[in-house]
Structure 1
């Protein structure tokens, strides 16, 4: 099947996909008393039947074709005006026209089907070998109404088809992009780990102050890069359908895990004070690595956006039911409009130079909390901002 034939078949399918078409053709034949009615697709060089009602054995069925020059629809395509003939033999214009003579017609009506963008699709027509009283405002109005209705459905179907094609294309593009991100993030882990190991080895050696500072910068940078890679991979995994994966343990050493994160960030922010208070009376069922990732995102966020020279407070609590982790920093209130988008991917709000990021940290943190059956809430005032993780201490509790 050629591309042109495929396009015509799509037009035939589109017309027959309109449930009302057969009802329209039935109303047309019964109202006018004419035995044949059809919806035709008409182009400069083709006339093809899309839908038909034939009670006079004219012989056409959907997909059949007439030579375009032998039809009156060829003229309608050119001037976009209806043609209505009560009695061919008595009509001054069409009495000697080749089309009625060729097909044995005495009554004929055809109205153009115009799409919303002005394109001519074809015609709604009816014919009969006997005369019929159709050249009146009521019949012509009915045909125009039905032609407009068919055009409306065709426009709607075309719009749906375009939207579906666009959606498929966007989905394919998004999947390729996310697969690329996942592969890239995975391949970046090894060189980043190698740089981190070299930096750690250098810091264990007796070095000049300048070299030690450079090694410290390299170590701090790899820590940030690793966090970005983890967030990218988690985001790509979530979007590709895998979601945030967990490896739970019944009694994770949560306090040790969180203290390790605090120690790492104190190295990166030596000028800032991080005050931590723990009151863990119940073992927590969780994925310690994921909780560390979540906490690192929250604490880094507090250190980045909190007021310089002020303390960041970490309060950790657990009882028989809940585990709570609160990270509080001093500083300006988060604007209401930013609060609405904090936990959405790539939402960064207003950031100062040097504070830019991908805007995935809070989104990933919220997803980790959700995977644990918990939530992250935020409160912000002119004095302080507090992010609070709350989740059940036992697996399956909500």
Structure 2
């Protein structure tokens, strides 16, 4: 550790100790209980002694952050021996009566208790001094100091753990934001080339093509539709994660029935081998973002095509009443397990998919987010016979949007 880093480490420690409200009270209790005039929590290493918190009633002259040469203190002995030093009366003490430290600082009474972190590392000392004798070397006083030292250690480590957790959280949030911004920018920049490919495919349809090239043009066109949906899901996912959520626009240029029929037509074109049976009974208009509902519907219908049985039709039912709207997508196929159902609407969660039908696992998540934005919900029922995804919207609730 270089000098600059070490200095910052000591400064952080001083700040952390002074963030613990109990420390000030502990030092006050020590002085009141023992009658001593100076008490401190000191950070002690082999090279330095730093006062982190102080209660000074004798004008000792050392402030918070003040430093003593560690070699001139008895705290160095506490650190080396990992045990307390307690002196009631220096002049009468057979060990310390001629010791240079008491003479240098004018001490007659002294107590220093080591502070250990829970991993056993030595942190520093809780100590008190006074120019007059005091009754310190007894079980009651020493036990009190040890209890206070343990309390300081507990609070210090709790604060350090909290700061480390907060720092890691901020770092993760920053990394997540960068990732999601990258996804949003990437998705946005992909629109232009995909649009160009789609336009080129449509121009090819207007020319004379043999069966082979017509098939290739259709593959290109159908793939651009699928990629466009993936881009939409990526952008919506990034938008939701970055805090914007799913945006709704109620300025609809088509009816809801026309919008849903358009989705069915598109998917019938992309998957001509799949039968889609639709029963749309939309007698009442609803308040909602029809393009978003179409996106929700497209994701549910695409999911049914991917996971449903190829030999049976997919059934679409929609109905609206004066205060209620419901859209159901039903397919036959394997039952969704209870464990899989728990994760269906989580991002990047996918069930087993057929080769060539792989996706990002965002479709159902985006559909759920669109439903939530409308204050609606998506229900799932799955049996050995069929699976049904149902989007329900209470009109009374949607009117508050």
TM-score range, shorter chain: over 0.9
Instruction: Pick the aligned partner of 2:93 from 71, 91, 94.
Output: 91
Partner deviation per Cα, 1:57-113 (whole Å, 9 max, x = no partner): 222221111111110112222232111112222223222211111111121111111
Give the TM-score taking structure 1 as reference length: 0.95
Q: Which is worse superposed, 29-38 or 382-391? A: 29-38
Gaps of 5+ in 2: none
Indicate the residue corresponding to 2:141 in structure 1. 139
**1:250–1:284 contact (8 Å) kept in structure 2:** no
Distance across 2 between alignment mates of 1:356 and 1:141: 67
Query: How do residues 1-398 of structure 1 correspond to structure 2 at under 5 angstroms?
Result: 2-249=4-251, 252-393=254-395, 395-397=398-400
CA deviation map 1:217-266 (0-9, x unaligned):
11121111111100010111111121111111378411111111111111
**How big is the shift at 1:393?**
4.5
Determine the C-alpha separation between the residues in 2 that align with 1:397 and 1:152: 51
Q: Aligned Cα RMSD in Å? A: 1.8
Post-superposition shift, 1:203?
A: 2.8
Contact 1:252 1:285 in 2 (8 A): no
Preserved CA contact (<8 Å) 2:87 2:137: yes
Q: Distance in 2 between matches of 1:393 and 1:137?
A: 75
Take 1:280 and 1:260, find their aligned partners in 2: how far apart are those partners? Answer: 15
Aligned residue pair count = 398
SS at match of 2:287: strand
Q: Distance in 2 between matches of 1:351 and 1:134?
A: 76
Distance 2:368 2:305 in 1: 19
Displacement, 1:284? 2.4
Separation of aligned partners in 1, 2:86 and 2:355: 74
Deviation at 1:120, TM superposition (A): 1.8
CA distance in 2, matches of 1:117, 1:201: 72
In structure 2, how many angstroms separate the alpha carbons of the residues matched to 1:146 and 1:313?
A: 72
- The gaps in structure 1 that reach 5 residues or longer are none
Asked whether the 8 Å contact 1:42–1:121 carries over to 2, the reply is yes
Q: Is the 8 A contact 2:252 2:290 kept in 1?
A: no
Separation (CA, whole Å) in 2 of partners of 1:179 and 1:251: 31
Segment drifting more, 143-152 vs 371-380? 371-380
Match of 1:378, SS?
Answer: strand
Is the 1:250–1:285 contact (alpha carbons within 8 Å) kept by the matching residues of 2?
Answer: no
SS of the residue 2:358 aligns to: coil
Q: Partners in 2 of 1:332 and 1:159 — Cα distance?
A: 48
Does the C-alpha gap of structure 1 residues 14 and 282 become closer, same or farther in structure 2, counting only changes over 3 Å?
A: same
Q: Tell me the distance in 1 between the aligned counterparts of 2:11 and 2:60.
A: 22
Q: Larger deviation: 57-66 or 358-367?
A: 57-66
Q: CA deviation at 1:117?
A: 2.6
Query: TM-score of the superposition, structure 2-length normalised?
Result: 0.95
- How many Å separate the matches in 2 of 1:210 and 1:252? 36
